A and B are shown apart, each in its own frame.
Chain A
Amino acid sequence: MVSVQLVKVTKRFGSVVAVNNVDLEIPDGRFTALLGPSGSGKTTLLYLIAGIYRPTRGKILFDGKDVTNLKPNERNIGLVFQNYALYPHMKVYDNISFPLRLAKKPKSFIDKKVREIAAMLQIDHLLDRYPAQLSGGQQQRVALARALVKEPSVLLLDEPLSNLDAMLRLKIRSELKRLQKDLGITAIYVTHDQSEALAMADKVVVINNGVIQQEGDPHEVYRNPRNVFVASFIGSPPANIFPVKVDLVEEPCVILPGGKYCPKGILAERLKNLGKETVLFGFRPEDATLHEVPRHDGIIMEGEVYTIEPLGREVIVTLKVDGNLVKVIAPPTTTGRISQRVYINVPRDKAMLFDPDTEKNLRLIG
């Protein structure tokens, strides 16, 4: 197993900068997720690590060894694609054994390896079939087996669950996580699905426009988003963010519909030093509570019920707050009617303030 390091890596395609000056450390033996919307450069980043693309600038190191100019097959990586990319004209056995056959390993060795990995992934009864005769989940396992059979030092996964239906995705998600832990392999996982990244990864790297927005453990990235993009990309539903007026007359406060929020300590100082008329105010849907009469602890604002979506375990209430749509996750027993006036209560330590221009989280600046 190896650690992977990217040093000031840039990749251009013509005039498009797909990956822009990225520095990244991927820890040995851990599960790292590259998370970003489509077109963010996450797959390009993966292909750079795989050696399919050469960086325009910068270096890629495996365990400190420069692999920038090595071909994919010289890097000892396993790669799993979203569409699995199984060879349709080869049986499952031949698909899995293909990398070993190309490496000219002895037949008995190949046979042993293929059967071992197939047994581990519970596809040993499918070895005689063609990929077209398999279900999506089975094809996925075959692709995984083909990537793992050569005992790669890094396993690269490019949206491997996106082509599966929702139920199967949940099942394979936990299996994949367990498999990575059992093998102790360095895994890099590209996904646009934030819940997948949070659920599976030891480390989440959020990418947008070819630039790393934030990296850290899932909890850290979720609780302390560095900027508006991360806050509004992660979470289901994501954080509510809307512009509010700033009042610096007595003490630094932001004016909310039906209330105001005056932060204390360092945040107050930063709000004051920022000296802008508006900032972006945000909170996570699950941090807020709804009340018919205003409470006097925490931050209070007034809203009007827009829709109510019961999801069984919880209810998502969408409210109109000063023209902005805001989502709050409420207990399953919540009832209400459309256009009803309610009070939203957010604990003070859960409120987020962002610079409207740089979109950075004021709490994390410095």
Chain B
Amino acid sequence: MKLGHKLSNATFFLLPAIILIAAFYILPLIVTTWISFTPLRDWKISQLTEFVELENYRALYKFVTTHPLGSLVLKTTIVFVVFTLIVNVLGGLLLAIATYVIEERVSLGFRLLWLIPRMTPLAVFGLIWYYFFYGSPQGTLNAFLLKLGLIDQPTFWGTDPNLLPWSAWSIIIFVNGLVGVSYGMIIFYSAFKSLPPELLIAAKVDGASTWQIVRHILIPMARWHLVFVTVWQLLSLVTSYTHLFVLVDWRIVDEWYGTTWALFVFTEAFGTVKNQGLAAAAAVILVIIGSLLGLLTLRIMRFDKITLEPKGDI
């Protein structure tokens, strides 16, 4: 086959994906970058051709460096991403190991249970936590703790200034972790399940305990999956805001201690402020940071090495 022929074949098969990526990713990216150089506010389309150079970026820099809320958004983002990532990856790994080790019938029910938060519609999920953390004595958590006698006054857990910032941060990490942890669980579990059973039998015969099998066989063999889940979850956590939006909008957590960079972009563009120019600049920064983080993680976890073709005569 000639090279030209090959290329046209490749183009044919890749075209649908290319069109989708172009329409829903490349194009919005260009438009967003464009907007970030305009003074667009309140969707006044006429402003789209007025250019303010780096004004939005300057304002953003000033907000982050001088405004107390700016640095808070940054801090919240870092805390949220780091801790939720740990919960999602390590929690997913633990759940996968647990469901792998226990009997299949029990395991299936257990895995389904952990999928419920992911399958629950956002509004319902939000409502559950609204009631759970609600500040009246009827709020689930308050009622529970009051009954146990651990507290004597009901508390607004996510907004009480005495408990901030970690109370709000804990809630956003907990709620997002509960949704995210099943992803890692599914991926790791299927990775374990695809291992040849002889490998585990061999390890047992060699004298490995369950913990040694996990440490020496399961985890090293699921290394690729670990890299994938870590990078994937990292990027989704950096950019996701829907659950946070509900938590903040319904005052389950404090507005500022629950706002990450991604949510800041959203509220800046579509909330009360409607400063789309500034929001676009923040979004562009987010894309750049996200890409760098993704590449960095792949580098740290030596993605190039584990995808290397094996050498030698087979």
- CB–CB A98/B198 < 8 A: no
Residues of B contacting A82 with CB < 8 Å?
Answer: 198
Residues of B contacting A132 with CB < 8 Å?
Answer: 310, 312, 314
Residues of B contacting A129 with CB < 8 Å?
Answer: 312
* Residue A130 is within 8 A (CB to CB) of chain B in the complex: yes
Residues of B contacting A135 with CB < 8 Å?
Answer: 313-314
Q: Which of B198-237 touch A at CB < 8 Å?
A: 198-199, 201-208, 212, 216-217, 220-221, 223
B269, chain A: closest CB distance, angstroms? 47
With A85-B198, A85-B199, A132-B312 in contact, do A73 and B223 touch (Cβ < 8 Å)? no
* Residue A226 is within 8 A (CB to CB) of chain B in the complex: no
- CB–CB A89/B220 < 8 A: yes
- CB–CB B206/A99 < 8 A: yes
- CB–CB A133/B207 < 8 A: no
Residue of A nearest to B306 (CB): A89
A263–B314 alpha-carbon span in the complex (Å)? 57
With A79-B205, A98-B206, A102-B206 in contact, do A134 and B312 touch (Cβ < 8 Å)? yes
A99: contacting residue among B199, B201, B207, B311, CB under 8 A: B207
A133: contacting residue among B203, B208, B212, B312, CB under 8 A: B312
Residue of B nearest to A81 (CB): B198
Residues of B contacting A98 with CB < 8 Å?
Answer: 203, 206, 208, 216
Residues of A contacting B149 with CB < 8 Å?
Answer: none
A129–B312 alpha-carbon span in the complex (Å)? 9
Residues of A contacting B208 with CB < 8 Å?
Answer: 73, 98, 102
A146: contacting residue among B198, B206, B311, CB under 8 A: B206
- CB–CB B201/A85 < 8 A: yes
For chain B, the count of residues having a C-beta within 8 Å of the partner chain is 22
Residues of B contacting A102 with CB < 8 Å?
Answer: 206-208, 212
Residue of A nearest to B313 (CB): A135
* Residue B196 is within 8 A (CB to CB) of chain A in the complex: yes
Residues of B contacting A87 with CB < 8 Å?
Answer: 199, 202-203, 216-217
Residues of A contacting B221 with CB < 8 Å?
Answer: 88-89
Binding site secondary structure of chain B: helix
- CB–CB A133/B310 < 8 A: yes
Q: Which of B174-218 touch A at CB < 8 Å?
A: 196, 198-199, 201-208, 212, 216-217
B25, chain A: closest CB distance, angstroms? 35
B202: contacting residue among A79, A103, A133, A150, CB under 8 A: A79
A103: contacting residue among B207, B216, B220, B223, CB under 8 A: B207
Residues of A contacting B312 with CB < 8 Å?
Answer: 129, 132-134
A132–B314 alpha-carbon span in the complex (Å)? 7
Residues of A contacting B313 with CB < 8 Å?
Answer: 135
A134–B312 alpha-carbon span in the complex (Å)? 6
A133–B202 alpha-carbon span in the complex (Å)? 20
* Residue A83 is within 8 A (CB to CB) of chain B in the complex: yes
Q: Which of B275-314 touch A at CB < 8 Å?
A: 310-314
A51, chain B: closest CB distance, angstroms? 8
Q: Which of A213-262 touch B at CB < 8 Å?
A: none
A116–B11 alpha-carbon span in the complex (Å)? 56
A98–B220 alpha-carbon span in the complex (Å)? 14
Residues of A contacting B216 with CB < 8 Å?
Answer: 87, 98
Chain B 161-174, CB-CB to A under 8 Å as 1, else 0, gives 00000000000000
* Residue A114 is within 8 A (CB to CB) of chain B in the complex: no
For the complex of A and B, the 9 pairs showing the least CB-CB separation, nearest first, are A133-B312, A73-B207, A85-B198, A132-B310, A99-B206, A85-B202, A102-B207, A89-B220, A72-B205
Listed by A's residue number, 5 A-B pairs whose Cβ atoms lie within 8 Å are A79-B205, A98-B203, A98-B206, A146-B202, A146-B206
